[in-house]
Amino acid sequence: MLKPSQMRWGSPLSARTLLPLVLLLLLSGFSSLAFAHGVTEGDALFIEQASGLQLLPFIYLGAKHMVTGYDHLLFLLGVIFFLYRMREVGIYVTLFAFGHSVTLLFGVLSETNVNPYIVDAIIGLSVVYKALDNLGAFKRWLGFQPNTKAAVLIFGFFHGFGLATKLQDFTLSEDGLVGNILAFNLGVEIGQMLALGGILILMNAWRRSHSFARQAFAANVVLMAAGFLLIGYQLTGFVIAA
């Protein structure tokens, strides 16, 4: 099994290896950037008009938001990239879920406002961090390995605030608010598990191929580039909106 410590910084990156990954990055990233700070028009209209308990619709919206949330999925991909045991996957995903659940519920129910561009830039930073972690960079640079579980939990808090900012864009009815936000959070967890299941299936198939050891380094370089792309996009939005 290939581990971060076995990856060589000098590994050759052939065009044949990088081209599909770069194309995937461009297609998934640029096609989704327009949705970085909101939801579809139809969903937005429903959220604005919803009154009373709307549990199933909000569960659906939460699941949809997570499944289509490329920034969250990129981070999860980085988290499980070198996790081979389901027990380890479960521990890390639970930490991430706990983190973003706490700040999602707190952010919306307490009406704590944070700048969405800055939060989303930090979410992009989380992708960069995990890619560097997978590349073994911190152990080389710092001489020790930072606590990965703590990092996943901390970044989970920021991902939760990122979700909260999406809902804070709307005027939410006080009637049924707590139940609807809890339903949305449940939907987020359902969407996370669905997306994670698909990612794990693809990752396990990739790991069994002979090309995984050769392409793992390149994949994390592209993952890191995606994180920098997210940071740059959000900081640009912050400057323009200022």
Q: How does DSSP assign the chain, residue by residue?
A: ---GGG--TT----HHHHHHHHHHHHHHHHTTGGGTT---HHHHHHHHH--S--HHHHHHHHHHHHHT-HHHHHHHHHHHTT--SHHHHHHHHHHHHHHHHHHHHHHHHTT----HHHHHHHHHHHHHHHHHHHTTHHHHHHSS---HHHHHHHHHHHHHHHHHHHHHTS---STTHHHHHHHHHHHHHHHHHHHHHHHHHHHHHHHTSTTHHHHHHHHHHHHHHHHHHHHHHHHHHHHHH-
What's the whole-number mean pLDDT along residues 226-239?
94
pTM of the model: 0.83
At 167, the pLDDT band (50, 70, 90 cuts) reads confident
pLDDT bucket at 35, cuts 50 / 70 / 90: very low
- What span, in angstroms and rounded, lies between the C-alpha atoms of 57 and 47? 9
Q: What does the pLDDT read at residue 4? A: 54
Give pLDDT tens digits for 197-228.
Answer: 999 999 998 998 888 888 999 999 999 999 99
Give pLDDT tens digits for 39-78.
677 777 788 888 888 889 999 998 988 888 888 899 999 9
